[in-house]
């Protein structure tokens, strides 16, 4: 059969060339994806994955690159003394309202950014307070007056001078009054004297918002000298404070903390310490640090002093003290005072002349004069004269005053009868204010001639007779302000500038030697070569008269009212300081407000009390408090340890909106409750009434739970127990020995890292920490810690790297208090480090727990896992450091270009969403190491100091290299304080680099810590 | 004779007179029709919730985590509570699809598709929280180990939060693959029935060219088994790793070795409850009562009472250990601040919802009651939400140092974010119910002839036969 041939098309049949070509190729058409052009393309198909991978990687890398660099403008002409990146230090003095702290100001690129205590001063020995630490921020306060003005309109100094001199000469002989708060500067006083000398009948009235006039008057009556003596708490074995908060607000706390701390350090070989009694109405910082504390009504203050005088053997009849506890306490205190004749001291915070005379009499009997009280170099801390002030206001109202020049004082706000002062000021022909802000008084003055901030000024100060200190400008004046002394010199026709005047004065005093003046400015202080021997003064007070007046004082009503100063805000002068406003009050832990402090017993009358419900709500019941015909509505705050019938309110709040964004409208003004007894101001009212209003108001506290629940995080014992068995306080550490001889190595499966070279460590002595909070503010200033404002504090969003935990224990009406500074413990086995998914927190080979802010993504896992809860998230954009527009959260002008000048350029500003915490001031440590390296020697102990350590006036914080056998920290840990030393939560094997030294109370009762283990811990 | 025999004592898994075509009709036809009014209402509500959630998240990202009420003491609140809750819910889907597949549990076929969908959506919701809760969410990519120019800086492999990243992403991937591979034959069914071009195109693409050839089926079955094998350890591992977030920490109340099994049991517990909630509504609205039967619900209720009791046992064990361990901090956490204290109420809600109320399922009547099941499924999920809240917040709010003790109430963006995930979940679920076969058609068909009611009835003749005759017939079948 013939093979049939089938064909598909004519091409095949004829077998054309074209067809043959097609047959040869497997595919009739070229495959589109295998064409030469595609395979040879720049990105061929087969390289797709390669390119995909590359572009993804490239995009990832590009995305992780930094945003464009913004360049700063360098100096065109670099000032000789400024090296960018290197700090300059200038000695200066903090002398606001008579509080005296010589300081060293750190400036960077011409900006003052931090103040430290001047260690050359033997008065304060380098101590500071929270207010001193915060004062640098006030330099950059946006609410400062920026120019001279007349009637609210900006003017030139020349115009102002012209008008003021014209007005002064047109007074027609009416007296000119310079009204100031306490001034420590002798040269300024000289300038004032020269100015006033030009005007007949003129006078200088010194008025202190919180007055010590009673004490001055009492001393005049007792010793014939209107002075405040120097107190030497460091020489005292027994200290009795009758409502004098010398650790917090009384006269000069920086000095007294330093002195008192010396009596509270425990030498393990020979344990002894001072015994400290406090009799007071409210719970003060000093009361919180008392060994024995008793509360009484303010109306009883005189009676308590009298009873004490009687008990120490004074020739008075002791009034009956109804409260047996207090009566016993007086006997006990008297016994101790007598037993320590010449080594004891009684101080009183009363502004009542008679009470102070009684106190002088006690001190005379117990031999305090010349031992713990020194009249050889009396202090000038307060000079206010209440009676003169009252007379001035009366004269003003009578229209007999020609001109009032206000310098530093603010009576329109803090005078007890402010409306009367305001009325009087209207009747004065010429009102000039030198105040640096448009405060309540300044806004009423036609002429505003703002003074420099003290960091821009020249000045001197004589804190104590013979002890001088200086103020020099650390920055050119930021605004068109002028030194008050320059104004006065100009108005008195003297053409010398104040700077020259001061210099001439001192160069002359120093024997015409310019280099001596330079040296003085460098040191900041002049002190007698040898301190004058302590000397007393002969007591000649009218004890019987004073006692009679005290006994005839009217008895208190149902409730009584006490006004007090807060440690941070004081009399209100620095109220517009956001750092200080946000500083938790040492006792109440509340921020940004004043409130009516009442006891738990009194609170129960308003159906509220300490407990879970009170803790979990920030809303507090508002009370209406009436006294002296005035009334105020304030939220209540329960403060254990306040007398059950007493309401305590802090002064310094309720400022006008012009005072500044931070202070304006916060709290209520309590000064109207002050009364004038004809001689001095009384900062209490013996007859107050209190009622509920039905409304509520939030109070932002940083700590709501008051008890440490008997947990061994705080260890304390009594001196007697400690002497009997020094090991007892740390008995629970024996349990750790079960793991083996070395808990560090034996209690873990993991290998131990040996720290070679430097290993940083800190020791905090709970016995000398008084809880004043200077460290908190020092840390804030040093590390650019953000201010968050009241609402955010109420939400638990405050940023402080270092907080001071305050725990009450025992009875709610008579509690014991312990302060525990709590900051990152820099654990060597840190729970935070291993949980961070991105490794943003890690450990340095010097033992520092580090934060890489740029790496942090804000999961907060580290903070959750931190047993000490010291990590702080930037919950919002506090400082404009993120790239979102218009989401800045700034309630206190902390981000104004002016305010930002306070930022420490060595510490990065953290952006929103990142975690931060104590860094052990790593910038200071690096600086110290670098310095040592440049100088070619190993790091010396003490060369690297943390900000908190440096700020502490009690020396409670010791920091250093624990690998250095000569370091103080090494000695504390291994030689001196082995019995008291413990680590918080040591049993969790976090291996903290901060140790604490157990607190020791000089009291007879059994230690609370021990009983707390057995009993149900009391919710204080 | 080839006989697929299942005892008639066993309840049929598909009720009614069904053949293969009828099954297809019942399940696929809702996809082809217009959705009902209820669907639109539900979908709109879901979208609104999603929108509100998106706004809350925007608010939080723009102004910072500070708009939440978390604080220095309580770093995690509703965010991580919701995360763990959603992840837990996801577990039922995987358990049903993977473990029950390996155990050859025929009843899974009625519910596995919806359960797996629920897993996917729940994990999607869960994933939002750990990302959005970050302080700097725009830097979230730091958590991925990718090569970079920063050193390179690497992630911290010690951190359980990093393990979470891997666990959750793996889980999501495997679940998605599993779900999707199961959908392919059903998509092909929709495609083949499609009467509009668009539908044909879309379902054609989605079904990856499935033709139903034997080879396809063989590979499909093999893939299912492989994925089931992969997913099975995930059921246990994902929540184990989530529990490590807490168990590896030092916080009393978190630092507990019992957490992994306790979390897994809790996850399955809450997952099944969520499946119940969804299916009770779905079967009603889509008229699928004959496929998702009371029997199915009873089976799941049995799982619920089992896992609920496991969880209850874990709670008691924790309490016992808190006492027996003699760690004062842990004792306080459990006895003073968890079972009592300001947040104590949350503990008792948890106990009531999770341990006490599921005990009703010991009674058959209760297990088979739709109303009881529905109410219980909601109660269980409330309880399980509180379990996570209790673990996270009551441990944090009163830990070692009493000075830091705090309290926590959510702010509106936190609540909004949670509601937003409900919006996301239900938006997805509504779309799923409309466009996807909510029951695995192919798988139902595979058990239809064994467990379908009408087929089971035919088996009754064999029940009456003697064993010998039955054996003989089987042996000599041709």
Q: Which two tokens stand for residue A533?
A: 């021997």
In a domain, B14, yes or no: no
Give CA–CA dist A312/A879, Å, rounded.
Answer: 58
Task: For residue range A227-240, list pLDDT tens digits in order.
Answer: 999 999 999 999 99
Nearest to B159 among A616, A711, A837 (CB): A837
Residue A268 pLDDT grade (very low, low, confident, very high; cuts 50, 70, 90): confident
Please, what is the angle between helix B259-285 and helix B78-94, to 10°? Answer: 70
Q: Which of A209-223, A299-313, B441-455 has the lowest mean pLDDT?
A: B441-455
Q: What is the mean pLDDT of residues A394-408?
A: 91
B187 and B330 share one domain = yes
Query: Are A796 and B135 inside 8 Å of each other by CB?
Result: no
B272 and B261 share one domain = yes
Task: Decide the pairing of beta strands A803-809 and A630-638.
Answer: unpaired
Nearest to A64 among B67, B149, B342 (CB): B149
B419 and B457 share one domain = no
Residue A72 pLDDT grade (very low, low, confident, very high; cuts 50, 70, 90): low
B190 and B216 share one domain = yes
Cα distance from N-terminal residue to C-terminal residue, chain B = 5
Share of chain A above pLDDT 70, in %: 96
Q: How distant is the Cα of B322 from the closest Cα of chain A, in angstroms?
A: 16
- Chain A to chain B Cβ contacts (< 8 Å): 197
Show contacts of A78-86: CB within 8 Å, 24+ apart.
A79/A110, A82/A109, A82/A110, A84/A109, A85/A905
| ipTM of this complex prediction, to 2 decimal places | 0.91
Judge whether residue A550 has pLDDT over 80: yes
Phi, psi of A378, rounded to the nearest 5 degrees? -65, 155
Query: Are B66 and A875 inside 8 Å of each other by CB?
Result: yes
Q: What is the pLDDT of residue B94?
A: 83
Which residue range forms the structural domain that includes residue B284?
20-451
A1007, A718 contact by CB (below 8 A): yes
In a domain, B343, yes or no: yes
Q: What is the pLDDT of residue A1006?
A: 52
Residue A1017 pLDDT grade (very low, low, confident, very high; cuts 50, 70, 90): very low
Give CA–CA dist B333/B329, Å, rounded.
Answer: 6
Nearest to B66 among A705, A797, A914 (CB): A797
B406 and B464 share one domain = no
Q: What is the mean pLDDT of residues A640-668?
A: 91
Better-scored residue on pLDDT, A311 or A36 = A311
In a domain, B12, yes or no: no
B439, B110 contact by CB (below 8 A): yes
Share of chain A above pLDDT 90, in %: 63
Q: What is the pLDDT of residue A64?
A: 66
Strand partners, A103: A92, A117
* DSSP one-letter code for A344: E
What domains are defined for chain A? 213-379 (3.40.228.10), 557-701 (2.40.40.20), 717-750+757-1014 (3.30.70.20)
Q: How distant is the Cα of B193 from the closest Cα of chain A, in angstroms?
A: 34
B410 and B466 share one domain = no
Q: What is the mean pLDDT of residues A966-978?
A: 91
Strand partners, B49: none
Task: For residue range A105-125, list pLDDT tens digits in order.
Answer: 999 988 999 999 999 999 999
In a domain, B237, yes or no: yes
Q: What is the pLDDT of residue A1007?
A: 42
B76 and B133 share one domain = yes
In a domain, B15, yes or no: no
Q: What is the pLDDT of residue B294?
A: 87
Q: Please, what's the b/e burial string for A138-163 (b: 16 or more CB within 10 A of its CB; e: otherwise)?
A: bbbbbbbbebbbbeeeebebeebbeb
Judge whether residue A1014 has pLDDT over 60: no
Better-scored residue on pLDDT, B330 or A5 = B330
Q: Which two tokens stand for residue B182?
A: 């199961």
Q: Which two tokens stand for residue B457?
A: 């009835």
Judge whether residue A39 has pLDDT over 80: no
Residue B101 pLDDT grade (very low, low, confident, very high; cuts 50, 70, 90): confident
B358 CB contacts (<8 Å, ≥6 apart)? B269, B304, B305, B308, B309, B376, B380
A92, A474 contact by CB (below 8 A): yes
Nearest to B153 among A61, A855, A884 (CB): A855
A93 CB contacts (<8 Å, ≥6 apart)? A100, A101, A102, A103, A118, A454, A459, A461, A469, A470, A471, A524
Give which of A61, A796, A821, A881 to mutate to test B binding, by max B Cβ within 10 Å: A796
Q: What share of chain B is helix, strand, coil (3-state, %, to 5)?
A: 75, 0, 25
Q: What is the pLDDT of residue A28?
A: 61
Counted domains in chain B: 2
Give which of A869, A873, A990 to mutate to test B binding, by max B Cβ within 10 Å: A869
Give CA–CA dist B478/B476, Å, rounded.
Answer: 6
B461 and B423 share one domain = no
Q: What is the mean pLDDT of residues B296-302?
A: 88
Better-scored residue on pLDDT, A66 or A241 = A241
Q: What is the pLDDT of residue A274?
A: 92
Q: What is the pLDDT of residue B202?
A: 93
Judge whether residue A628 has pLDDT over 60: yes
Q: Which of A411-425, A996-1010, B362-376 has the lowest mean pLDDT?
A: A996-1010
Q: What is the mean pLDDT of chain B?
A: 88
Question: Which residue has 């008051």 as its token pair?
Answer: A706
By C-alpha distance, the chain B residue nearest A794 is B71
Q: What is the pLDDT of residue A844?
A: 93
**CATH (domain of B185):** 1.20.1630.10
Judge whether residue A7 has pLDDT over 90: no
Reported in sequence order, the residue ranges of A380-502 that DSSP labels E, i.e. its strands, are 403-407, 430-433, 447-448, 459-464, 467-471
Nearest to A836 among B69, B139, B159 (CB): B159
How far is residue A475 CA from its own chain's centroid?
23
Q: What is the mean pLDDT of residues A603-612?
A: 90
Going by C-alpha positions, the residue among A104, A124, A100 that lies closest to residue A257 is: A124
How far is residue A242 CA from its own chain's centroid?
24
Judge whether residue A776 has pLDDT over 90: yes
B441, B71 contact by CB (below 8 A): no
Give CA–CA dist B450/B351, Å, rounded.
Answer: 41
In a domain, B13, yes or no: no
Task: Decide the pairing of beta strands A630-638 and A596-598.
Answer: parallel
Give CA–CA dist A33/A376, Å, rounded.
Answer: 105
Q: Please, what's the b/e burial string for A239-277 (b: 16 or more CB within 10 A of its CB; e: otherwise)?
A: bbbbbbbbbbbbbbbbbbbbbbbbbbbbebeeeebbbbb
Query: Are B249 and A864 inside 8 Å of each other by CB?
Result: yes
Angle at B198 between CA B192 and CA B203, to 5 degrees: 45
Q: Which two tokens stand for residue A799?
A: 């940023």
Residue A910, SS3? coil
B2 and B139 share one domain = no
Report pTM.
0.89
Distances from the Cα of A1016 to the Cα of A709, A728, A912, A1020, angstroms: 8, 21, 42, 12
Judge whether residue A98 has pLDDT over 70: yes
In a domain, B305, yes or no: yes
B129 and B196 share one domain = yes
B70 and B191 share one domain = yes
Q: Which of B144-148, B381-385, B400-404 has the lowest mean pLDDT?
A: B144-148
Q: What is the pLDDT of residue A915?
A: 94
B340 and B469 share one domain = no
Q: Which residues of A touch B139 (CB under 8 A)?
A: 857
């Amino acid at each position: 059969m013939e093979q049939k041939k089938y064909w598909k098309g004519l091409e095949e049949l004829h077998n054309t060339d074209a067809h043959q070509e097609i047959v040869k190729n497997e595919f009739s058409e070229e495959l589109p994806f295998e064409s030469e052009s595609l395979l040879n393309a720049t990105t061929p198909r087969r390289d797709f994955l390669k390119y995909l991978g590359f572009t993804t990687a490239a995009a990832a890398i590009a995305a992780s690159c930094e945003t464009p660099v913004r360049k700063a403008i360098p100096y065109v002409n670099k000032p000789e003394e400024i090296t960018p990146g290197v700090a300059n230090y200038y000695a200066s003095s903090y002398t606001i309202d008579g509080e005296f702290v010589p300081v060293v100001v750190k400036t960077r690129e011409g900006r003052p950014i931090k103040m430290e205590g001047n260690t050359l001063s033997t008065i304060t020995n380098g101590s500071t307070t929270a207010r001193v630490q915060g004062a640098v921020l006030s330099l950059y306060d946006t609410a400062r007056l920026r120019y001279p003005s007349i009637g609210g309109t900006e003017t030139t100094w020349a115009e102002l001078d012209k008008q003021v001199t014209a007005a002064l000469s047109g007074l027609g002989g009416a007296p000119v009054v310079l009204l100031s708060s306490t001034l420590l500067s002798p040269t300024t006083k000289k300038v004032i004297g020269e100015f006033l000398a030009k005007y007949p009948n003129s006078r200088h009235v010194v008025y202190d918002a919180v007055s010590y006039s009673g004490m001055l008057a009492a001393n005049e009556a007792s010793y014939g000298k209107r002075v405040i003596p120097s107190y030497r708490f460091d020489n005292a074995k027994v200290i009795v404070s009758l409502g004098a908060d010398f650790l917090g607000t009384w006269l000069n706390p920086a000095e007294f903390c330093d002195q008192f701390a010396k009596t509270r350090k425990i030498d393990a070989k020979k344990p002894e310490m001072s015994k400290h009694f406090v009799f007071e109405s409210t719970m003060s910082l000093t009361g919180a640090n008392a060994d024995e504390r008793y509360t009484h009504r303010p109306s009883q203050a005189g009676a308590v002093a009298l009873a004490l005088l009687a008990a120490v053997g004074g020739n008075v009849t002791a009034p009956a003290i109804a409260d047996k506890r207090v009566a016993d306490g007086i006997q006990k205190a008297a016994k101790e005072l007598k037993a320590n004749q010449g080594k004891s001291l009684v101080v009183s915070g009363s502004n009542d002349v008679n009470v102070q005379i009684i106190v002088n009499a006690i001190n005379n009997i117990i031999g305090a004069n010349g031992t713990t009280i020194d009249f050889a170099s009396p202090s000038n801390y307060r000079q206010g004269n209440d009676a003169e002030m009252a007379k001035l206001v009366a004269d003003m109202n009578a229209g007999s005053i020609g001109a009032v020049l206000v310098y530093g004082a603010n009576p329109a706000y803090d005078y007890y009868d402010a409306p009367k002062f305001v009325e009087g000021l209207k009747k004065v022909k010429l009102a000039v204010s030198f105040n640096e802000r448009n405060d309540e008084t300044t806004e009423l003055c036609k002429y505003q001639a703002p003074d420099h901030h003290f960091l821009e000024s020249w000045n001197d100060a004589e804190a104590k007779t013979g002890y001088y200190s200086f103020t020099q400008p650390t920055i050119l004046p930021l605004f068109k302000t002028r030194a008050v002394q320059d104004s006065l010199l100009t108005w008195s026709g003297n053409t010398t500038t104040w700077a020259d005047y001061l210099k001439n004065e001192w160069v002359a005093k120093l024997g015409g030697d310019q280099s001596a003046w330079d040296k003085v400015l460098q040191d900041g202080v002049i002190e007698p070569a040898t301190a004058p021997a302590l000397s007393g003064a002969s007591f000649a007070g009218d004890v019987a008269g004073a006692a009679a007046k005290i006994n005839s004082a009217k008895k208190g009503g149902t409730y009584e009212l006490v006004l007090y100063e807060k440690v941070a805000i004081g009399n209100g002068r620095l109220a517009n300081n956001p750092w200080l406003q946000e500083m938790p009050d040492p006792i109440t832990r509340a921020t940004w407000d004043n409130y009516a402090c009442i006891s738990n017993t009194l609170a129960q009358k308003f159906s509220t009390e300490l407990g879970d419900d009170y803790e979990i709500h920030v809303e507090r019941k508002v009370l209406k408090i009436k006294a002296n015909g005035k009334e105020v509505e304030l939220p209540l705050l329960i403060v254990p340890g306040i007398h059950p019938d007493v309401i305590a309110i802090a002064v310094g709040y309720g400022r006008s909106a012009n005072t500044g964004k931070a202070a304006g409208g916060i709290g209520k003004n309590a000064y109207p409750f002050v009364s004038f007894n004809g001689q001095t101001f009384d900062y209490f009212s013996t007859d107050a009434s209190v009622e509920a209003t039905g409304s509520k108001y939030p109070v932002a506290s940083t700590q709501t739970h008051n008890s440490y629940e008997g947990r061994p995080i705080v260890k304390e014992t009594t001196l007697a127990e400690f002497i009997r068995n020094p090991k007892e306080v740390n008995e629970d550490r024996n349990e750790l020995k079960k793991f083996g001889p070395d808990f560090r190595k034996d209690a873990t499966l993991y290998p131990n890292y040996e720290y070679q070279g430097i290993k940083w460590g800190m020791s905090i002595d709970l016995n000398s920490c008084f809880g004043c909070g200077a460290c908190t503010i020092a840390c804030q200033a040093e590390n650019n810690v953000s201010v968050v404002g009241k609402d955010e504090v109420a939400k638990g969003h405050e940023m402080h790297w270092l907080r001071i935990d305050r725990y009450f224990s025992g009875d709610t009406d008579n509690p014991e208090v312990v302060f525990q500074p709590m900051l990152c413990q820099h654990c060597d086995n840190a729970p935070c480090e291993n949980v961070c998914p991105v490794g943003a927190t890690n450990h340095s080979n010097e033992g520092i727990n580090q934060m890489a802010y740029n790496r942090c993504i804000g999961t907060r896992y580290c903070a959750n896992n931190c047993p000490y809860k010291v990590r702080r998230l930037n919950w919002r954009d506090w400082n404009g450091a993120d790239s979102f527009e218009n989401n800045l959260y700034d309630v206190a002008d902390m981000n104004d270009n002016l305010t930002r000048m306070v930022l420490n350029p060595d510490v990065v500003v953290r952006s929103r969403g990142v975690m931060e915490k104590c860094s052990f001031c790593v910038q200071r440590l690096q600086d110290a190491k670098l310095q040592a390296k440049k100088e070619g020697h190993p790091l010396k102990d003490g060369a690297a100091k943390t900000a908190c350590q440096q700020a502490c006036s009690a020396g409670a914080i010791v920091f250093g290299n624990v690998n250095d056998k000569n370091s103080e920290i090494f000695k504390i840990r291994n030689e001196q304080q082995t019995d008291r030393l413990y680590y918080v939560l040591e049993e969790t094997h976090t291996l903290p680099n901060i140790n604490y030294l157990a607190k020791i109370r000089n009291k007879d009762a059994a230690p609370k810590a021990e009983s707390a283990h057995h009993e149900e811990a009391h919710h204080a | 004779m080839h006989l697929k025999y299942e005892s008639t004592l066993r309840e049929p898994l598909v009720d009614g007179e069904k053949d293969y075509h009828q099954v297809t009709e019942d399940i696929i036809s809702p996809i082809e029709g217009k959705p009902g009014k209820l669907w639109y209402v539900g979908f709109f509500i879901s979208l609104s919730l999603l929108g509100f959630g998106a706004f809350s998240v925007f608010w939080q990202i723009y102004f910072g985590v500070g708009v939440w009420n978390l604080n220095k003491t309580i770093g995690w609140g509703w965010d991580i509570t919701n995360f763990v809750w959603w992840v837990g819910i996801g577990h039922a889907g995987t358990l049903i699809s993977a473990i029950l597949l390996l155990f050859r549990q025929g009843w899974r076929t009625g519910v596995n598709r919806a359960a797996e969908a629920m897993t996917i959506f729940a994990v999607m919701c869960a994933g939002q929280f750990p990302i959005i809760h970050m302080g700097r969410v725009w830097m979230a990519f730091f958590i991925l180990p990718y090569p970079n120019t920063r050193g390179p800086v690497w992630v911290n492999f010690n951190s359980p939060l990093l393990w979470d990243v891997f666990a959750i992403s793996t889980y999501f991937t495997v679940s998605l693959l599993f779900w999707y591979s199961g959908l392919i034959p059903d998509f092909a069914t929709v495609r083949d029935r499609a009467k509009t071009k668009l539908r044909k195109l879309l379902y054609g693409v989605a079904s990856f060219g499935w033709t139903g050839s034997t080879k396809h089926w063989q590979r499909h079955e093999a893939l299912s088994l492989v994925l089931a094998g992969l997913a099975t350890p995930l059921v246990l591992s994902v929540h184990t790793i989530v529990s490590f977030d807490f168990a590896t920490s030092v916080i009393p109340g978190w630092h507990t070795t019992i957490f992994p099994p306790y979390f897994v049991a809790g996850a399955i517990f809450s997952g099944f409850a969520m499946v119940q909630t969804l299916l009770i509504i779905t079967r009603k609205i889509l008229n699928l009562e004959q496929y998702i039967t009371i029997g199915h619900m009873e089976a799941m209720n049995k799982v619920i009472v089992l896992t609920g009791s496991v969880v209850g046992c874990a709670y008691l064990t924790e309490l016992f250990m808190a006492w027996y361990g003699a760690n004062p901090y842990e004792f306080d956490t459990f006895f003073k601040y968890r079972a009592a204290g300001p947040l104590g109420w949350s503990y008792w809600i948890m106990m009531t919802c999770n341990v006490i109320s599921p005990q009703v399922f010991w009674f058959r009547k209760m297990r088979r009651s739709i109303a009881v099941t529905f109410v219980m499924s909601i109660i269980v999920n409330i309880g399980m939400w509180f379990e996570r809240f209790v673990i996270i917040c009551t441990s944090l709010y009163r830990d070692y140092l009493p000075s830091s003790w705090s309290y926590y109430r959510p702010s509106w963006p936190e609540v909004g974010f949670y509601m937003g995930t409900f919006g996301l979940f239900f938006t997805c679920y509504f779309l799923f119910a409309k466009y996807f076969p909510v029951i695995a058609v192919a798988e139902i068909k595979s058990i239809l002839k064994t467990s379908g009611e009408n087929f089971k009835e035919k088996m009754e003749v064999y029940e009456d036969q003697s064993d010998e005759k039955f054996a003989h017939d089987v042996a000599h079948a041709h």
